[in-house]
A and B are shown apart, each in its own frame.
Chain A
């Protein structure tokens, strides 16, 4: 077994273990910390795939920004962190996810099983085609490929800045981020007066109470004054 394979298996164990803890842990703060561990393992996967730029971006964007956002959200919603972790449909969802993974694994598994070729070949035969699919064309692992991979970040930057390729999309996604950030500030802002639900119901109760006090005071005034004086005062008003 080679070193890269051992590294891959270690990363796999930490990634899937941390992800399983993220989706099952009761304490949400611990779930956020396990999420950081799984992000780290994904960054290791990117290093194995020789995509160094994205490993760095994973550290900066996911671990540096998104994880902190999650931790802040967990802290700002205190008191809800210890409710039961799974809802009533968890069993059905677990079975469905397991079946989905089994189907994916059957179709992704290589040579020894070949179940996917049996199924896909059967479909093709049914539709009048030939048995057997087209395999992916892998690039050879030689010096040319290494040179191409090594300047990938350079070519990515050129492609993102080139308006014939992804330039317009990059500008659009910048606008998307700006609008998203401004919108989230607007949505999560502190409401001052009678803006939240509790505030509104409180204000309505206050108004009702004041109206009642006023009408009571008027009734007391009317009772205290003699009838003639009351009539005179009413006439005087007119």
Chain B
């Protein structure tokens, strides 16, 4: 399955995905879209972890275990983040991160 694909192809795709996710997390005007960008970045990290596991150390389990923990943390993060966004929307009728400045000094 892996014949003919060099490691740096995976790394380049993951880097491009991470940069797209970073752009989404910093440049979107909607808190839900910001969370989508974060999810894209987490997926890029997972691709990197599994690629290094497969090419460098397939006999170990470090890359696999780390990917599993990233999955778990990503699920918890999405649940808490979306609950916060829904709560903010109930209170202010807006989910624009720039308008959420009630806690500013």
Measuring CB to CB, which residues of chain A are less than 8 angstroms from any residue of chain B? 1-2, 4-5, 8, 12, 15-16, 19-20, 22-23, 28, 31-32, 35, 38-39, 42, 45-51, 53-54, 57, 61-62, 65-66, 69-70, 72-74, 76-77, 79-81, 83-87, 89-90, 93-94, 97-98, 100-101, 104-105, 108-110, 136-139, 141, 145, 148-149, 152-153, 155-156, 159-160, 165-166, 169, 173-174, 176-177, 180-181, 183-185, 187-188, 191, 196-198
Contacts and interface: CB of A to CB of B under 8 A. Distances in A.
A48 B2 contact: yes
Contacts of A156: 61, 64-65, 68
A148 B20 CA distance: 34
B1 A4 contact: yes
Contact of B50 (A15, A54, A148, A176): A54
B39 A35 contact: yes
Contacts of B10: 45, 49
Interface of B: 1-13, 15-17, 19-24, 26-30, 32-33, 35-37, 39-40, 43, 46-47, 50-51, 53-59, 61, 64-65, 67-69, 71-80, 82-87, 89-98
B20 A97 contact: yes
6 contacts: A4-B1, A22-B40, A28-B32, A38-B43, A70-B32, A93-B23
Contacts of A155: 61, 64
A38 B16 CA distance: 13
A187 B50 CA distance: 34
A218 to B, nearest CB: 37
Binding site of B, secondary structure by majority: helix, strand, loop or mixed? helix
Closest 4 CB pairs of A and B: A23-B24, A184-B83, A180-B76, A188-B83
Contacts of A100: 19, 22
B2 A69 contact: no
A42 B8 contact: no
A49 B2 contact: yes
Contact of A97 (B22, B84, B92): B22
B82 to A, nearest CB: 4
Given A32-B36, A77-B95, 16 more contacts: A28-B33, A31-B36, A51-B54, A61-B74, A69-B82, A85-B28, A85-B30, A109-B12, A138-B7, A139-B59, A148-B58, A156-B64, A159-B65, A177-B75, A197-B91, A197-B92
Contact of B56 (A2, A137, A185): A137
Contacts of B75: 61, 65-66, 177, 180
